[in-house]
Amino acid sequence: MIWQLDIIILIIVVISAIAAITVKDLLSSAILLEAYSFLMCLLWTEMGAVDVAFTEAAVGAGISTAFFIGAIYQTTRRTKD
């Protein structure tokens, strides 16, 4: 466990999380959420929780992004608010 690497990954996680909820394009938001999920997976791997990281990589970065993209195809791509 290297705390410098932790700090760097945490900063990128916060940046991508804030970007995912502020961007207007919903497809970009889904991809940014996938980036957030993958970075959380990297953080958990680095902290030693390999099983949690595996679940995050399979569900968060893999399946849920496909669900979001499938749902965005049924609606409009830009948010109104």
Partner 1 sequence: MTIEFKDVIIQTICRLLTPPIQLYALYVIAHGHYSPGGGFQGGCILGASFILMVIAYDIGEVKRRMAEKMNTIFCSLGVIIYSGIGAICLILGANYLDYGILHKILPVNPVRARALGTLGIEIGVGIAVMAVMISIFLNIASGGEHEGALE
71 near partner 1, judged by CB under 8 A: yes
How many Cβ atoms are within 10 Å of 81's Cβ, its own excluded? Answer: 3
How far, in Å, CA of 81 to CA of 72, rounded?
16
- Is residue 56 a contact partner of residue 44, using CB atoms and an 8 Å limit? yes
CB atoms within 10 A of CB 67: 10
User: Binding of partner 1 at residue 18 (CB under 8 A)?
Assistant: no
Residues 10, 25, 28, 54: which binds partner 1 (CB under 8 A)? 54
Nearer to partner 1, 4 or 70 (CB): 70
Q: Interface with partner 1 by CB under 8 A: which residues? A: 50-51, 53-55, 58-59, 62-63, 66-67, 69-71, 73-74
